[in-house]
Amino acid sequence: SLLAVAEPAARAGLTHRYAALRALRVTVWRPESDGLPTRVNGRPGEWRLPVTVEYCFVVPGCTPSTVVLGTRWREAGEQPRLVAVEESRSRPAGTRPWEVSDLAVAVGKRTVVATTPALRRKLPGLLAEAEAAARVADLYAVDASPPDRYLIFYAGRTEWQRWYGGGRPKWTAGYAVGVGGGHHDVVLNAGSLSPTGVDDLLRHELTHAASLPDGGYANKGAWWLVEGLAEYAGADGQPVSHYEGLAEVRKLVRGGWNGRLDDLAPADDAADDRVGGSYGVGYLAVRHLVDRYGEQRVLDFFKAVVHDDRSFDEASDQAFGEQWSTLHDDCVGYVRAVAA
């Protein structure tokens, strides 16, 4: 094992990592070195070797996620000694929580929820809400094969800045990040969650995990569709009149929105009501398509645009048998009518 060849200074960090991985019930851990070691500048006798690790949690036969770790070694006779395992810089995910934090974990039938020991008391409630949300999100797996387990990390203030590279827009309450093997880890920001619970946010983020392609999506004009589907799942069948972002939609529609769905994505520094309005317009547009064509055809449309990178025109013709320009204007008309 790495511990056996580690310098004493590296052992503490490795021991913490092993404990976090064990808490997450790691079932597969396959490290492979990439290429040849390179000298570390300014440290004579030290070498860096990148190691790619395939890993699974809970489910032994999963399609593994991957992470690239930098390992540093010191020459010491026959057996080099491990000096350090660096944090992952894998794109786009960045540093995984189990690399840098002690974790408390609760495991359910469809979900795994993890947080830091200081927030451990939140786990039973979060797990119950996550299990309920997973049953909804499973319905939006585009290729009808939902994730084997949804992995959810509940981040305190420090962890929010550190896990997966931090640096999210200030308005973000949660996000899903692709980690390979068809898996998306979900992160919730403890600092911006309402005391009434996180069920709609969990449905939203787990639906991203169920519906998004492995490497994200190329068409930035599809933001409204990606977020609209997740908001639609978040709303979980409630009447449109109960959607809590309607006031923000009204403000956006009256405040000079140009009426283009492909121009909805908010800037990183956008005000909260601009953000809420954008998500709400996406929700209403998807809701209108579902009301008209049913969920399955909307999922077919989503798959064509988001997974297969088809144009909206082609996808609309294929899924709905209608011109996208006409449907786009119908959706926008519906949004304006609801916001009137």
Each residue's pLDDT expressed in tens, for the chain with a length of 340 residues: 678 889 998 999 999 999 999 999 999 999 999 788 999 999 899 999 999 999 999 998 899 999 999 999 998 888 899 999 998 877 778 899 999 999 999 999 999 999 999 999 999 999 999 999 999 999 999 887 899 999 999 999 999 999 998 888 888 899 999 998 889 999 999 988 776 669 999 999 999 999 999 888 888 899 999 999 999 999 999 999 999 899 999 999 999 799 999 999 998 888 889 999 999 999 999 999 999 999 999 999 999 999 999 999 999 999 999 999 999 999 999 999 999 9
Cα first-last separation, the chain: 65
Q: Three-state DSSP class for 237?
A: coil
Strands 46-57 and 38-39 turn out to be antiparallel
Residue type, 93: A
Q: Which two tokens stand for residue 272?
A: 């909260």
Q: At what angle do helices 324-339 and 272-293 cross, to 10 degrees?
A: 120
Cα torsion 197, 111, 294, 224 to 10°: value is 70
pLDDT for residue 247: 96
- Taking only Cα atoms into account, the Rg of the chain, rounded to an integer number of angstroms, comes to 22
Tokens of 84: 């350090």
Match 């960090």 to its residue by tokens.
13
Measure the CA–CA gap between 94 and 96, rounded to whole angstroms. 6
Q: What is the CATH number of domain 93-216?
A: 3.30.2010.30
- For 114-137, letters b (16+ CB in 10 Å) and e give bbbeebeebbeebbbbbbbbbebb
Cβ–Cβ under 8 Å, residues 19 and 44: no
Angle CA 127–108–125, to nearest 5: 15
Residue 195, pLDDT score: 67
> What does the domain layout of the chain look like in residue ranges?
3-84, 93-216, 218-340
Reduced 3-state DSSP string for 120-170: HHHHHHHHHHHHHHHHHHHHHCCCCCCCCCEEEEEECHHHHHHHHHCCCCC
CA distance 1 to 13: 14
What span, in angstroms and rounded, lies between the C-alpha atoms of 153 and 158?
13
Task: Give pLDDT, residue 321.
Answer: 98
What pLDDT, on a 0 to 100 scale, did the predictor assign at position 77?
82
pLDDT at 197: 67
Residue 198 sits at φ, ψ, to 5 deg, of -125, 20
pLDDT for the residue 216: 84
